[in-house]
């Protein structure tokens, strides 16, 4: 196991794509210390930023003890192993990862789990904007894998999501699941406006209050329970909406009946 | 300082030199017979392959379209960015690199001259500003004249001499190099939401047909003695069954006397060689087309070879881009450039497992391999429409090695495998042929006398690759070959060593080549023309021409026309 402890604060953004079990694998402590990172526009080494310790156990795990909110691209494209971050992290955490596990005991910034292809990301604090969404302009979203957020999520999460699971225990910002074509999202508390805009497939489950529903969604029925995963069911009852009809979509929106009395007018269309 | 390249295996098809061991001497940026050993810088090229500097006849590297393409694709830049070094500037771009990166990357592959094939005359200033910013390369650009109102009006009147004078005037004020025709008649129709579907359809409001535009401009091209032929993007491009339109187009040009020389260059022919009635019965029309081209000598073409990657399509053919938008549903840019042309941009991902894309890949290679005379076929990807130019080494490997083709072929969609002619083609191009399809042929077709060869008097543009033709059999070792052609051992431009082992050593500005055509009766800009600009354009005439100070290293070619 590698333990990284930040020894320096920087006012500039840092790109440290090398912090990944795949890169650290079979490298000595010296080799890891010499890996390239960028602080602003200056090329530096990993040891300039972190104190690096190698513990005796022979796992692929990496632990970061401390806040690294300026450090971008941790766990980029990782396929195995585990990263535990005891603090806040920067943007693009676990981007394009296809396996392994990332646990953040703190908050994350934008594009966490962007274009993910597999693996698990668990965030004990809040996640920033663009959770699991592709970079601006791209149409390739999350393909597989699982993201769990214990806090709240910013705007534009799960854009172009194709498959996989996102579970949010807190609130979600606006434009969640924009142009989503598959996969499951469960929002434990309240959801923001424009939920599921332009979605054509998959499920979004809202257990709390929904700010407003898009006019391009139509009600189908009322359902008592919804399956999120193999051993996880959300208990309702839920209004089931179909949409987004502007895109001839077949996505499903499950909205809690109990928390959303304003939607009861839809019941007469069932 | 003089430069001497010693003991390389030289391939210079225009001077019929095939792998001879010889020295190349360069003085003052030009190739000379010899220079003294003692005072010159010497490159030891023993065991290396020496080619003339690469020439690319068709690559969209500058202009309003390219720039809009950059703007709509932030994700394209995110996946590929270049940091600055002590010598080179930073940049971005995979399919649409920024200007400086374009220059460096071409140079790293041994290219020294490239042609930007589509410039709306209204955007000429923008295009030249970008060309100024592309280092390491000599450049030229072709204005889109096929749907320009002045041309259409004069063809309608039947006055080709007047038309020729207008074309000469336009080449002068936009600093262009050749007549580019895109979907003749179709772009004018696109202004009204329509298209033409054969070369005998009527163009709205003008009562002429694409046939008349193509033949008219081919005759105009001859009257003006332009070095290049007309540069033609055919009607119905990208639509199944368009190979019959392409054959019609080639046949209609037969009537023009050509004295054995080409009179039309059909560009990215792969997109114009689709047979079948719809996307379901889609198959290759390459056999028919190459049969025609092998039996006639008035056509040259470039491949427009598909690369399986995520790229950006951009063309002046607005209606075609609309078809592509309906197919892909991707983000779409559409424009109608006033009285001149139209345009469209769509990102596109060519996939091996898509039967249509896989057949398209096969068509490009079939066209190149079934054409017997390598002087008629040029290697391009129509950058970035069918793939970025950085994939050229891959295409060269496919052309030179059946093994390389088979490696890609077996990963294609099964339907495409069944419909492809490729397994029956065993032809493999030699290094000599490759020098033709990447350099000599392009330069000959463009009429650039000082490019594409290593004879005395030519520009001192040389590309040296780390391949020993006596030891390496490129058909078997295609990966070695591909590596060597991705990173030139040396790129020499005008006697300066710009690149060594794929690393940029120094930057240099290139020339912008344009045609200064003298007709006996020059067009005078009178009140009538100015009034037209006031009525139909968004700019006044005074703001329209590209004045001399716009071009950094201007290199006009003076031409005397017959009219």
Crossing angle between the packed helical segments B402-409 and B392-400, to the nearest 10 degrees:
110
Structure tokens at A264: 């009861």
Cα distance between residue A187 and residue A182, in whole Å: 16
* Nearest CA among B72, B244, B66 for reference residue B139: B66
| Cα Dmax for chain B | 70
- Tell whether B382 is covered by a domain: yes
For testing the chain B interface, which of A111, A135, A141 should be mutated: the one with the most B CBs within 10 Å? A135
Give the per-residue pLDDT at B563: 87
pTM of the model: 0.92
- For residue A84, count CB atoms less than 10 angstroms from its CB and return exposed for 0-12, middle for 13-18, buried for 19 or more: middle
- Tell whether B530 is covered by a domain: no
- Tell whether B1 is covered by a domain: no
Neighbours of A87 (CB within 10 A): 16
Structure tokens at A99: 């396996």
Cα distance between residue B29 and residue B495, in whole Å: 5
- Tell whether B84 is covered by a domain: yes
Q: Using the beta-carbon criterion (under 8 Å), do A135 and B74 form an inter-chain contact?
A: yes
Taking any CB pair shorter than 8 Å as contact, residues of chain A touching chain B are: 41, 134-139
| Number of cross-chain residue pairs from A and B with Cβ atoms under 8 Å apart | 16
Identify the bridge partners of residue A50 per DSSP, sorted by sequence position: A6
Cα distance between residue B305 and residue B271, in whole Å: 9
- Which residue has 């054959």 as its token pair? B247
- Which residue has 């940026």 as its token pair? B29
Q: Which residues of A109-133 are buried (b: 16+ CB within 10 A; e: fewer)?
A: bbbbbbbbbbbbbbbbbbbbbbbbb
What distance in Å separates residue B353's CA from the closest CA in chain A?
A: 17
Bond into B2 cis (ω within 30): no
- Tell whether B63 is covered by a domain: yes
- Which residue has 């002619």 as its token pair? B421
- On whether the CB atoms of residues B155 and B216 are closer than 8 A, the answer is yes
- On whether the CB atoms of residues A198 and A247 are closer than 8 A, the answer is yes
What distance in Å separates residue B74's CA from the closest CA in chain A?
A: 6
- On whether the CB atoms of residues B112 and B135 are closer than 8 A, the answer is no
Cα distance between residue B211 and residue B232, in whole Å: 12
- How far, CA to CA in Å, does B437 sit from each of A106, A170, B392, B423? 59, 62, 11, 22
Cα distance between residue B67 and residue B134, in whole Å: 13
Residue B78 has its nearest CB partner, among A41, A135, A139, at A135
- Tell whether B433 is covered by a domain: yes
Per-residue pLDDT reduced to its tens digit, A71-88: 999 999 999 999 999 999
- On whether the CB atoms of residues B54 and B30 are closer than 8 A, the answer is no
Q: Using the beta-carbon criterion (under 8 Å), do A135 and B73 form an inter-chain contact?
A: no
For testing the chain A interface, which of B70, B73, B75 should be mutated: the one with the most A CBs within 10 Å? B75
* Nearest CA among B206, B205, B219 for reference residue B256: B219
**Chain B residues touching A136 at Cβ < 8 A:** 74-75
| Cα Dmax for chain A | 69
- For residue A58, count CB atoms less than 10 angstroms from its CB and return exposed for 0-12, middle for 13-18, buried for 19 or more: exposed
Cα distance between residue A221 and residue A236, in whole Å: 13
Q: Is A213 helix (H, G, I), strand (E, B) or coil?
A: coil
Residue B74 has its nearest CB partner, among A41, A137, A139, at A137
Structure tokens at B246: 């392409």
* Nearest CA among B131, B129, B147 for reference residue B139: B131
Length of chain A: 270
- Sorting pLDDT into bands at 50, 70 and 90, what band is A249? confident
Cα distance between residue A219 and residue B426, in whole Å: 62
End-to-end Cα, chain A, rounded Å: 57
Each as own residue / partner, the long-range contacts of residues A73-78 (CB below 8 Å, 24 or more positions apart, any chain) are: A73/A15, A73/A16, A73/A17, A73/A19, A74/A16, A74/A19, A74/A20, A74/A102, A75/A19, A75/A20, A75/A100, A75/A102, A76/A17, A76/A20, A77/A20, A77/A22, A78/A20, A78/A21, A78/A22, A78/A102, A78/A119
- Tell whether B27 is covered by a domain: no
- Tell whether B35 is covered by a domain: no
The residue of chain A with its CA nearest to that of B71 is A137
- On whether the CB atoms of residues A160 and A134 are closer than 8 A, the answer is yes
Per-residue pLDDT reduced to its tens digit, A217-228: 999 999 999 999
Which residues 6+ apart lie within 8 Å of B356 measured at CB? B279, B282
Q: Using the beta-carbon criterion (under 8 Å), do A137 and B330 form an inter-chain contact?
A: no
Identify the bridge partners of residue B299 per DSSP, sorted by sequence position: B264
Cα distance between residue A252 and residue A203, in whole Å: 5
Structure tokens at B458: 């030519």
Task: Write down the ipTM of this complex.
Answer: 0.84
Cα distance between residue B444 and residue B459, in whole Å: 14
Delimit the domains of chain A by residue range: 110-269
Decide the pairing of beta strands B341-349 and B310-315: antiparallel
Residue B104 sits in a domain whose CATH number is 3.20.20
Residue A136 has its nearest CB partner, among B75, B83, B330, at B75
Q: Using the beta-carbon criterion (under 8 Å), do A134 and B75 form an inter-chain contact?
A: yes
Length of chain B: 563
Full domain range(s) for residue B71: 54-446
pLDDT in tens, chain B (563 residues): 899 999 999 999 999 999 999 999 999 999 999 999 888 999 999 999 999 999 999 999 999 999 999 999 999 998 898 989 999 999 998 999 999 999 999 999 999 999 999 899 999 999 999 999 999 999 999 999 999 999 999 999 999 999 999 999 999 999 999 999 999 999 999 989 899 999 999 998 899 999 999 999 999 999 999 999 999 999 999 999 999 999 999 999 999 988 888 999 999 999 999 999 999 999 999 999 999 999 999 999 999 999 999 999 999 999 999 999 998 889 999 988 888 999 999 999 999 999 999 999 999 999 999 999 999 999 999 999 999 999 999 999 999 999 999 999 999 999 999 989 999 999 999 999 999 999 999 999 999 999 999 999 999 999 999 999 999 999 999 999 999 999 999 999 999 999 999 999 999 999 999 999 999 988 889 999 999 999 999 999 999 999 988 899 999 999 999 98
Crossing angle between the packed helical segments B160-174 and B149-157, to the nearest 10 degrees:
170
As for how many domains chain B has, the answer is 1
């Amino acid at each position: 196991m590698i333990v990284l402890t930040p020894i320096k604060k920087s006012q500039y953004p840092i790109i440290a794509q090398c912090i990944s079990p795949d890169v650290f694998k079979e490298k000595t402590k010296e080799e890891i210390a010499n890996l390239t990172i960028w602080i602003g526009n200056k090329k530096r080494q990993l040891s300039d930023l972190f104190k690096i310790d190698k513990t005796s156990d022979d796992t692929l795990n990496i632990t970061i003890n401390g806040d690294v909110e300026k450090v971008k691209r941790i766990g980029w494209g990782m396929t195995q192993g585990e990263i535990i971050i005891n603090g806040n992290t920067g943007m693009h955490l676990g981007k394009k990862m296809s396996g392994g596990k990332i646990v953040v005991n703190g908050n994350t910034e934008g594009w966490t789990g962007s274009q993910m292809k597999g693996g698990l990301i668990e965030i004990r604090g809040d996640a920033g904007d663009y959770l699991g969404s592709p970079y601006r302009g791209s149409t390739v979203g999350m393909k597989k894998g699982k993201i769990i957020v214990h806090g709240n999520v910013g705007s534009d999460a799960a854009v172009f999501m194709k498959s996989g699971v996102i579970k949010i225990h807190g609130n979600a910002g606006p434009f969640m699941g924009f142009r989503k074509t598959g996969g499951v999202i469960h929002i434990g508390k309240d959801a923001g406006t424009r939920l599921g805009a332009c979605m054509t497939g998959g499920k979004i489950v809202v257990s709390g209050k929904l700010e407003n529903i898009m006019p391009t969604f139509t009600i189908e029925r009322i359902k008592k329970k919804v399956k999120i995963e193999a051993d996880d069911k959300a208990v309702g009852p839920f209004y089931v909406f179909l949409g987004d009809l502007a895109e001839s979509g077949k996505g499903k929106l499950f909205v809690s009946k109990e928390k959303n009395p304003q939607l009861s007018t839809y019941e007469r269309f069932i | 300082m003089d430069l001497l390249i010693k003991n390389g295996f030289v391939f210079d098809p225009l001077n019929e030199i095939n792998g001879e061991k010889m020295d190349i001497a360069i003085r003052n940026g030009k190739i000379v017979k010899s220079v003294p050993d003692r005072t010159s810088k010497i490159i030891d090229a023993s065991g290396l392959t020496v080619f003339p500097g690469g020439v690319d006849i068709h690559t969209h590297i500058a202009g309003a379209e390219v720039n809009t393409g950059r703007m709509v694709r932030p994700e394209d830049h995110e996946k590929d960015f270049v940091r600055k070094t002590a010598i080179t500037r930073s940049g971005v771009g995979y399919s649409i690199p920024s200007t400086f990166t374009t220059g460096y990357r071409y140079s790293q592959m041994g290219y020294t001259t490239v042609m930007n094939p589509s410039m709306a005359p209204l955007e000429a200033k923008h295009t030249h500003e970008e060309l100024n910013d592309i280092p390491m390369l000599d450049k030229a650009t072709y204005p889109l004249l096929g749907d320009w109102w002045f041309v259409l009006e004069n063809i309608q009147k039947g006055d080709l001499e007047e038309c020729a004078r207008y074309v000469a005037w336009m080449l002068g004020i936009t600093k262009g190099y050749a007549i580019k025709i895109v979907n003749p008649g179709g772009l004018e129709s696109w202004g009204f939401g329509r298209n033409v579907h054969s070369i005998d359809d009527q163009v709205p409001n003008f009562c002429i047909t694409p046939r008349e535009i193509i033949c008219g401009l081919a005759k105009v091209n001859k009257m003006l003695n332009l070095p290049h032929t007309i540069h033609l993007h055919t009607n119905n491009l990208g639509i199944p069954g368009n190979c019959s339109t392409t054959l019609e187009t080639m046949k209609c040009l037969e009537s023009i006397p050509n004295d054995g020389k080409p009179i039309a260059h059909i560009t990215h022919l792969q997109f114009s060689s689709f047979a079948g009635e719809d996307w379901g019965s889609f198959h290759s029309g390459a056999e028919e087309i190459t049969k025609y081209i092998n039996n006639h000598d008035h056509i040259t073409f470039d491949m427009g070879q598909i690369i399986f990657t995520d790229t950006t399509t951009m063309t002046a053919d607005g209606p075609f881009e609309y078809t592509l938008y309906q197919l892909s549903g991707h983000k779409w840019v559409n424009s109608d450039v006033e009285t001149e042309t139209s345009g469209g941009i769509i990102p596109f991902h060519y996939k091996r497992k898509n039967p249509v894309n896989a057949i398209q890949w096969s068509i490009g290679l079939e066209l190149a391999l079934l054409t017997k005379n390598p002087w008629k076929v040029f290697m391009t990807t129509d950058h970035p429409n069918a793939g970025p130019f950085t994939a050229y080494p891959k295409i060269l490997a496919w052309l030179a090695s059946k093994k390389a083709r088979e490696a890609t072929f077996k990963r294609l969609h099964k339907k495409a495998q069944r419909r492809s002619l490729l397994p029956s083609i065993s032809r493999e191009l030699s290094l000599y042929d490759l020098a033709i399809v990447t350099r000599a042929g392009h330069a000959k077709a463009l009429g650039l006398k000082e490019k594409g060869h290593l004879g005395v008097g030519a520009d001192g543009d040389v590309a040296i690759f780390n391949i020993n033709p006596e030891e390496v059999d490129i058909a078997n070792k295609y990966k070695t070959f591909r590596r060597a052609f991705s990173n030139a051992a040396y790129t020499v431009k005008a006697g300066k060593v710009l690149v060594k082992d794929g690393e940029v050593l120094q930057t240099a500005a290139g020339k912008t080549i344009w045609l200064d055509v003298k007709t006996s009766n020059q067009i005078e800009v009178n009140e009538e023309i100015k009034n037209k600009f006031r009525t139909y354009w968004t700019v006044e005439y005074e703001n329209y021409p590209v004045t001399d100070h716009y071009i950094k290293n201007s290199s006009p070619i003076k031409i005397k026309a017959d009219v």
